[in-house]
Amino acid sequence: MSVARHLGIDLADYDQRIRTFIPHYEEMLDVVAGAVRLTSARQPTIVDLGIGTGALAARCLAARPRALLIGIDSDGDILAAAARRLRRSLKRLRLIHGSFARTRLPKCDVMVATLALHHIRTARAKHRFYQRCFRALRPGGVFASGDAFLADDSPVTEQFLATWRRHMARSYSTRQARAFLRSWAREDRYFSLGSEGAMLRAAGFRVEVLWRRAPFGVLLGRKEHVG
């Protein structure tokens, strides 16, 4: 499904509307993009999973001016928007139209994602996906994902959702905010930070929480050098 349909917006409005939906959106992107500095590769290959309109990719390219950035997205229209935003960096950009769940993941030094991996709906599929990410990363590789992470405990999840609705209440009525969250929950799966960290660890990563403003957070996974 297209991003515009999933979010219930016009694609041209994405960059403005996403801020009304996601608290601390820019701060989260800055933290994920900051993780690209953790690789020691001189000309790192960075893969952006679910590149969207390219807001995260632009930050990654600014942080590592010699990097090659490969953006993967299943929505052709939003890939075109990313190409427009990143037109000054076209020589350092490759775009892949396809699902990160199925397409071959390119060998790389860094993998980043924001608000994209919640589209993987089962723990089994996510675990397999993290194994594929681990294999695609070179030794010393860095994985960073910013997303919503709810709780295993339902009263805590309720508190997290109330925080999320309070942010949306700046732009929408309570009814609209609840309707958006209900509609996204039909397609998205927000694991807890603990479960997500455990899945990354099971795939082989050393895991850190880089940033948390519940219900949003940034998880870091490191693939250690061998020997």
Ligand X SMILES: C[S@@+](CC[C@H](N)C(=O)[O-])C[C@H]1O[C@@H](n2cnc3c(N)ncnc32)[C@H](O)[C@@H]1O
As separate numbers, helices (DSSP H) first and strands (DSSP E) second, the chain gives 9, 7
Instruction: Closer to ligand X by CB, 64 or 119: give it.
Output: 119
| Pairwise CA distance, residues 210 & 7, whole Å | 27
Reduced to 3 states (helix: H, G, I; strand: E, B; else coil), residue 221 is: strand
Backbone angles phi, psi at 218, to 5 degrees: -130, 125
Here's the x/- map for ligand X, 38-57, by CB under 6 A: it reads as ------------x-x--xx-
Contacts with ligand X by CB under 6 A: the residue count is 18
Q: Reply yes or no: is the peptide bond before residue 215 cis, omega within 30 of 0.
A: yes
Cα separation of the two ends of the chain: 44
Among 11, 72, 133, 177, binds ligand X (CB under 6 A): 72
Does 100 bind ligand X (CB under 6 A)? Our answer is: yes
| Pairwise CA distance, residues 18 & 46, whole Å | 23
Does 196 bind ligand X (CB under 6 A)? Our answer is: no
Please name the residues in contact with 25: beta carbons below 8 A apart, sequence gap of 6 or more: 18, 19
Using CB under 6 A, which of the segments 72-80, 84-92, 170-178, 210-218 binds ligand X? Answer: 72-80
Residue nearest ligand X, CB atom distance? 52
Among 39, 45, 114, 145, binds ligand X (CB under 6 A): 114
Among 75, 109, 147, 196, binds ligand X (CB under 6 A): 75
- Contacts with ligand X, residue ranges (CB under 6 A): 3, 18, 50, 52, 55-56, 72-75, 78, 99-101, 114-116, 119
